[in-house]
Structure 1
Amino acid sequence: MIQRAPGAAIGRYTITGEIGQGGMSTVYACYDRLLDRDVAIKVFAAQAVNPELVRVQEAEARLAAKLNHHALTTLFDAGVDSSEPERPQIYLVMEHVHGDDLMRRLEHGPLTTLQVSYLGTDLSNALQYVHENGFLHCDIKPANILIADRNFDSRIRGKLTDFGIAGIVGAASGKGTTTGTAAYLSPEQIEGADPSTATDVYALGLVLVEALTARLEYPGTMEQTALERLRRDPVIPSTVPADLADILRGMTHRNPLMRIPAHEAADRFERVAARLIAERRGDAPPPEPKSEEARLDAVHRYGVLDTPPDAAFDRISRLAGRMLDSPISFVSIVDGERVFHKARLGVDVAEVPREVSLCPITVDIGRSWTVADISVDDRTRDNPVLKQYGVRAYAAAPLVTEDGHNIGSLCVYDVRPRAFTQQNLDDLTELAAVAMHELELRRAARRLAFDRD
C-alpha cells in the first residue's frame, strides 16, 4: 500500500493526516483546496487494474452516492489517483466527521444512558433509511460508527459509515459465505443464514449494549463467541432503565422474527431520550395514564357491549383481513372482565375472558403492535385459547376515543408465523380509526335523537 505523508496531494485535495487504516483501505484527513473545506478520503489498497476489486470498490461508491441521510457519512466525490501511473488507486471523498469512531471513544469508558438513547435514535433512523432504499449494511460495529466532537453535556451525534460489504435486501450472499465482523454476527448468521434487515438490527443492538458497558459482549475466539451467542442473549446491566433495556432486548432477540424493526427502535429511543432529558431538567413528569375507571366509563357510553354483531364492523373486519392477508380478524371492546368481539372473521367467538385475550395488551400500550410467533413469545406462548385455535401471528391497533381512551382494538391473526410490516400496522391503525369514527357517529346520533325528544 502506498504511504502518503501530510502535504501530499490526491487530485485537488491536500493530505493533512491519517485517520485510520485497515486491510482494504486507508482513510486520510484532507483539505479541499477548491471548496475550502475539510474532507476525509478513503483510498483503496488494491490497484485499479484488478477487475473484481474495481467492481467491489465502484459498487461501494455508487451505493454511498445513492444514500443521503444525516446519520450517514456523505459522499462528495470519487476518482482514481494516478500519482503513480503504474499503481492507480480508486478513492472516495467523504465528509470529515471531526471526532473518534465509537471503538476509540469506548476506550475512555462507557456512554451514559442518555447518550446511548441519542445514538440509538440516530443510527436506527439511518438503518431504517438504508433498508427502505433496498440495502443492508452488513458490517455494523463500533469502528464503523463515527461520533461527532461535541461537549459532554450536548447531544451526541452518530454517523454510520463504511458500506464496503453492503448487500441488497433479499439477496443471497452465497452458500457457505458469511459477511460481517465475527463479534457482531447474529445467531442466524452463525448458523449459516444470509444477512437481512434483522441481522443489521441485531448488530446495532449489540453495539449499543457494548456502548453501555465499554466491554465486548461476546469475547473470545471466533468459535467461542459464536457458541456463546447461540447459548444466551446479551446481558444488559441492571442499572439500565427498563424502557431502554426493553429496546435493546427487542433488537438482540435470538429469534430474528421477534426482533423489533429499525423504525420502531428509533421511535422508542427518541421517547427514552425525551424522558431522560425531562428528568435531568426537573421538568414535570409525563401525565399519569388515564384511570381504568375513566376508561370503562368511556366503553359504556358507546352502548355496544350487549349489541349483536354489526354489518359496518363486519366490513371493517373483512377489509383488515384482506389487506393484511390474514384469515382471522376482530373488532373487540375491552370491558372490566370480558372482551367482546363486535365483529369476527374466521372464528365465531362472541366474547372471551379478559385474561386470555391479547386485546387488553393493545389497550394498555396504546399503539399498534405485533407478535411474529405466538408459540415462542413470552407474552403469548402459554395462552390456552390461542393454542386451541392454532393461531401463530398477531397484529393489532387500538380503538382510541376522541378524548384519548383506548376502549378496544382491531386485530388480525394468522395461522402461520409471520412478521407484519410497518405498512401493515399503519393500515390497521387507519382501519381502527374508521371503526372508532363509526362509533362516534352513532353516539352523536343518539345524543341528537335524545335532544329532539
Structure 2
Amino acid sequence: MSYDPPRPIGRLLLTPEDKDAPERVRRLRRLGLGERPEPAFDAFADRLAEVAAVPYAMVNFIDENRQFFAGLHAPDGTGSGGRPATAAAAADGAERPDVRRYMARDYGFCPHVVVRRKALVLEDVCDYPRFAGNPVVDEIGIRSYLGAPLIDRTGIALGTICVVDVEPRPWGRAGLETIKALAAELVEQIERRESGGI
C-alpha cells in the first residue's frame, strides 16, 4: 500500500471539487446516515480517540455543502460538542470555539480525503502551506490530522474517520495502517446494518 503525501506548493489549497457529492448524498439518505448523531458512532469516535491518544476524533459524513459528525469525541468527554480544553487554552485562559456536529466543506481536511479517496497524514499541518491556511488551524488550533475514507461496497466514499491533535504528531506508517484498518471496520459495521445484521 502506498501513501502519497501532499506536496507543499506555497499556496492555499481550495476545497477540491467533489463530483461524487450528489451520488454520495443519495447513498447516505438510503443508509439513513448523516442527519443525526448516533451513539454507536460516538462510541466509535471515543475508541478512535483512545487508540490514537488525541483530543478529537470524528466519524464524518459529507454532503454537497457541509460535513456532519455523526460520531464525535471532544475534549470535554462528550459527543455533544463542548469547548475544547487545549493546553494553550489552559495556559492563557482563552476559550476556544465550540466544536459542533456540522462544519462547512471548506473547513478541515476530510473533504480532501473523500475526493482523493485515500488516507491523509498531516503530522504538522504547518509544514504544508496549502493546508496550514485552513480555518481549523487558527480557529480551533488543529496542528495534526490523520484520516481515512469510508468507501462502501458500492464504491462511494461516504465520508471519513479522523483523529486530530492540537500538537504536531508523528503518526508514521503505524498510524496510517491503524486508521485505514479502523475505517474498513466501520464500513463493515455500516454494511451489516444495511443488511439488517445489527
State the Cα distance separating 1:385 from its structure 2 match: 2.8
Aligned pairs for 1:411-430 within 5 A? 411-430=162-181
Distance in 2, Cα, partners of 1:299 & 1:360 = 15
State the number of aligned residues: 163
2:68 is matched with 340
Contact 1:290 1:405 in 2 (8 A): no
Choose the corresponding residue for 1:399, options 125, 150, 160.
Answer: 150
The alignment's TM-score, normalised by the length of structure 1, stands at 0.34
2:191 is matched with 440
Matched, 1:304 2:33: yes
Matched, 1:313 2:41: yes
Distance in 2, Cα, partners of 1:310 & 1:425 = 26
Contact 2:21 2:63 in 1 (8 A): no
State the Cα distance separating 1:365 from its structure 2 match: 1.1
Aligned pairs for 1:57-72 within 5 A? none
1:351 is matched with 102
Matched, 1:380 2:131: yes
Distance in 2, Cα, partners of 1:335 & 1:292 = 6
Distance in 2, Cα, partners of 1:292 & 1:342 = 17
Contact 1:339 1:357 in 2 (8 A): no
Q: Which amino acid aligns with 2:170?
A: A
Unaligned segments of structure 2, at least 5 residues: 9-17, 76-80, 82-99
* Closer, same or farther: CA 292–338 of 1 in aligned 2, 3 Å: closer
State the Cα distance separating 1:328 from its structure 2 match: 0.8
**What secondary structure is seen at the aligned counterpart in 2 of 1:312?**
helix
Query: Residue deviations 1:188-242, cap 9 Å, x none?
Result: xxxxxxxxxxxxxxxxxxxxxxxxxxxxxxxxxxxxxxxxxxxxxxxxxxxxxxx
State the Cα distance separating 1:392 from its structure 2 match: 0.4
Query: Residue deviations 1:224-262, cap 9 Å, x none?
Result: xxxxxxxxxxxxxxxxxxxxxx87x95xx7xxxxxxxxx
Aligned pairs for 1:51-450 within 5 A? 250=7, 291-307=20-36, 309-346=37-74, 348=81, 349-445=100-196
Contact 2:108 2:135 in 1 (8 A): no
Distance in 1, Cα, partners of 2:137 & 2:158 = 22
The alignment's TM-score, normalised by the length of structure 2, stands at 0.73
State the Cα distance separating 1:364 from its structure 2 match: 0.9
State the Cα distance separating 1:377 from its structure 2 match: 1.5
Distance in 1, Cα, partners of 2:183 & 2:72 = 14
Contact 2:24 2:63 in 1 (8 A): no
Q: Which has the higher contact order (CA 8 A, sep 6+)?
A: 2
Contact 2:35 2:70 in 1 (8 A): no
Q: How high is the sequence identity, in percent, across the aligned residues? A: 26
**What secondary structure is seen at the aligned counterpart in 2 of 1:380?**
helix
Query: Residue deviations 1:11-65, cap 9 Å, x none?
Result: xxxxxxxxxxxxxxxxxxxxxxxxxxxxxxxxxxxxxxxxxxxxxxxxxxxxxxx
Query: Residue deviations 1:389-421, cap 9 Å, x none?
Result: 111000001111101111100000011112211
State the Cα distance separating 1:290 from its structure 2 match: 7.6
Distance in 1, Cα, partners of 2:172 & 2:126 = 19
Q: Tell which structure's C-alpha radius of gyration is larger.
A: 1
Query: Residue deviations 1:257-304, cap 9 Å, x none?
Result: xxxxxxxxxxxxxxxxxxxxxxxxxxxxxxxx9844323322222112
Unaligned segments of structure 1, at least 5 residues: 1-124, 126-245, 254-288, 447-453
Contact 2:124 2:144 in 1 (8 A): yes
Contact 1:363 1:409 in 2 (8 A): yes
Distance in 2, Cα, partners of 1:434 & 1:314 = 15
Distance in 2, Cα, partners of 1:334 & 1:370 = 19
Distance in 1, Cα, partners of 2:158 & 2:151 = 6
Q: Which amino acid aligns with 2:113?
A: T
Distance in 2, Cα, partners of 1:301 & 1:402 = 14
Distance in 1, Cα, partners of 2:129 & 2:115 = 17
Distance in 1, Cα, partners of 2:167 & 2:20 = 36
Contact 2:141 2:166 in 1 (8 A): yes
Distance in 2, Cα, partners of 1:319 & 1:377 = 28
Distance in 2, Cα, partners of 1:300 & 1:357 = 23
